[in-house]
Amino acid sequence: MSFANNGRKIGATVGLFAIFVVSGILVARGDDKAMTTEMRNPRSAEATALAQTTTGTLTAEDARHFVEAAESRLLPLWVAAQRSSWVQETFITPDTEEMAAEADQAVKAATSELAAQARLYEGLKLPEDVARKLKLINLSVDIPAPRDTAESTELSQINASLQSDYGKGKWCPDGPQGKCLSLNDLERIMAASRDPKELERAWAGWHAIAPPMRKRYARMVVLANKGARETGFADVGAMWRSNYDMAPDAFSAELDRLWQQVRPLYVSLHAHVRWKLEEKYGAGVVSEDRPIPAHLLGNMWSQDWTNIYPLLAPANADSGFDLTEILKAKKIEPVGMVHYGERFFMSLGFAALPQTFWERSMFTKPQDRDVVCHASAWDIDYVEDLRIKMCIEQKSEDFTTIHHELGHNFYQRAYDTQPALFRNSANDGFHEAIGDTIALSVTPEYLKQIGLLENVPPASSDIGLLMKRALDKVAFLPFGLLIDKWRWEVFSGQVTPENYNKAWWELREKYQGIAPPSARSEEDFDPGAKYHVAANVPYARYFLAAILQYQFHRALCRESGYKGPLHRCSIYNNKEAGARLNKMLAMGESRPWPEALEALTGEKQMDATAILEYYAPLKQWLDEQNKGYKVDW
């Protein structure tokens, strides 16, 4: 899926490696006399390599054979795991859960075996691509399994059960026999209700799905850390931080550097929202001296505040239209919304999605069974079997998410001629940023061009437009950062199960400036009420994407010859921009990410100046508005 690389999730998918071409190559080589025993049988490769290490006879050629054999062994396992996950997530039952766990376990077992073998080639002088593949084998699962079969099986079962529990999660206020509310139902309340009591109940109702996960989560941490240590990492967090072509510590420092660049913008937005909420709800509910209560921001996790835009719409500068209303008025159904997304990519020069995409994707929530509604994009066979899985509703937020998911699919397809181990994004932030970059081009001008909007709002509406977008993208920044700050501390042992929830809320307050609606304790397990924690999907990628998408957008607008303010630029229909984008996408993970970034932007560093430039008019406006009010917390 596109959170995933099977076992490697990519945001919402597992599976970025294409199998067909690679197995095609290997089949072709099957007749080749040059095919060694090691290539046919990686297990015997381990024995051979071990023997050779002791005599020092391993060569670079052996290493190349090893990585190719590893790819041919992993690919069928990845595909099988993708298929099982797809069935499990679109039809949650004890059987599909067990089958998904088995397929996952097969991937994890093979990967840890291969990762151990890969270490035998350390110290050899190797061609760059071979050395890179050796490293990537090691990093190809997010949750590494211990070599012990019983432990590895247990780990896969725990993970499948956590994923299922999240997918099945419901709140039944009148007990299990009464009417139950799904996450989608509860999210609708969080979005629309302005009654603090009702909001608090919905918030607490959803968060009650997580305490039963707590014990299994803690056990997962122990098992996965063991797997990480067996392949040479200090813990799972250190392993995750090793996936960025730089030292793990340098990566943490890089995140902090980017956060410092954008923090002033977040703090200005936070201050404004807080005093507006105080005006609305009164100082007994929201106060300038305290962090904002998490249930008042229009979203279950306080990660996207767009839904409270009506409480904040600037007088005289309202954005002037509401895409949700337009979708409803024009009766644009979920599949129609997806077609708008596809047409945008096609306008840049990308080929249409395959027919099977339309036949096999899940666009809406089935009524007859439990599914994982959290949106994801998949490349089941690592070739052309692209799909998305969403519970689309007729609303602006889902219109954006569709573009997000399609970004994964078009990336997957662009790198499908790369060798298997390179069928991934330059780093995981890139995968998450592509569709969002396109969604930044969903401007009023664009909506008018495609017939969804009659009148483009004048420049005087810019503050409203920017505010709406900032409530999504700027509000998200600290959330994007803190999820993995929490997990890094959990995996390193700095935070133990006795402190899971306390540490969680400390980070929520420190980075987001928010507080729980009511007192929480270690009876709760609030992190588990967020999909990516229950499903073990790394999250720093979304923070990176939140910054990178503006850097990409700025570069593509430049490429298209656009000269005006960044927030009014749309690259719709621009083939030059499309070609430039494709150049980077097609590289997959074959080169260190700074080179991919350079191919698109001409820049080698991740850089928050683009997001700051984009929101500069809003920042100035917010700082005016905030005069006399408390800023920061």
Tokens of 379: 């490349």
Closest residue to ligand X8Z: CB criterion: 11
- Report if residue 11 touches Zn ion, rule: CB under 5 A: yes
- In whole angstroms, the minimum distance from the beta carbon of 479 to ligand X8Z comes to 8
Distance of CA 105 to the CA centre of its chain: 23
Catalytic member of 374, 532, 553, 567: 532
Ordered alpha helix ranges (H), 119-182: 128-138, 149-168
Check residue 147 and report its DSSP letter.
S
Helix/strand/coil for 292: strand
Active site residue 270: no
Residue identified by tokens 């229009």 is: 298
- In whole angstroms, the minimum distance from the beta carbon of 405 to ligand X8Z comes to 7
Helix/strand/coil for 5: strand
- In whole angstroms, the minimum distance from the beta carbon of 11 to Zn ion comes to 3
- Report if residue 291 touches Zn ion, rule: CB under 5 A: no
Sites of contact with ligand X8Z (CB under 6 A):
3, 11-12, 375-376, 401, 404, 542
Neighbours of 340 (CB within 10 A): 18
Rounded to whole angstroms, the Cα distance separating 223 from 349 reads 46
Active site residue 553: no
291 binds, among Zn ion, ligand X8Z, none (CB under 5 to 8 A by kind): none
Q: Which is nearer to ligand X8Z, 148 or 397 (CB)?
A: 397
Rounded to whole angstroms, the Cα distance separating 118 from 8 reads 18
* Phi and psi torsions of 226, nearest 5°: -60, -45
Q: Which is nearer to ligand X8Z, 12 or 199 (CB)?
A: 12
Q: Which is nearer to ligand X8Z, 12 or 126 (CB)?
A: 12
Tokens of 528: 């588990």
Instruction: From 541, 595, 578, 335, select the one nearest 441 (Cα to Cα).
Output: 578
Instruction: From 411, 435, 434, select the one nearest 586 (Cα to Cα).
Output: 411
Q: Which is nearer to ligand X8Z, 12 or 67 (CB)?
A: 12
Under rule CB under 5 A, which residues in 255-274 are in contact with Zn ion? none
Helix/strand/coil for 8: strand
203 binds, among Zn ion, ligand X8Z, none (CB under 5 to 8 A by kind): none
- In whole angstroms, the minimum distance from the beta carbon of 531 to ligand X8Z comes to 7
Q: Which is nearer to ligand X8Z, 137 or 483 (CB)?
A: 483
138 binds, among Zn ion, ligand X8Z, none (CB under 5 to 8 A by kind): none
- In whole angstroms, the minimum distance from the beta carbon of 546 to ligand X8Z comes to 8
Residue identified by tokens 């700095």 is: 494
Rounded to whole angstroms, the Cα distance separating 152 from 230 reads 12
Rounded to whole angstroms, the Cα distance separating 332 from 451 reads 12
Under rule CB under 5 A, which residues in 409-438 are in contact with Zn ion? 432
Instruction: From 159, 439, 427, select the one nearest 323 (Cα to Cα).
Output: 439
Do 422 and 367 form a contact (C-beta atoms < 8 A)? Answer: no
Q: Which is nearer to ligand X8Z, 425 or 551 (CB)?
A: 425
Closest residue to Zn ion: CB criterion: 11
375 binds, among Zn ion, ligand X8Z, none (CB under 5 to 8 A by kind): ligand X8Z
- In whole angstroms, the minimum distance from the beta carbon of 460 to ligand X8Z comes to 30
Catalytic member of 97, 154, 405, 559: 405
Name the residues annotated as catalytic.
405, 532
Q: Which positions lie near Zn ion, rule CB under 5 A?
A: 11-12, 432
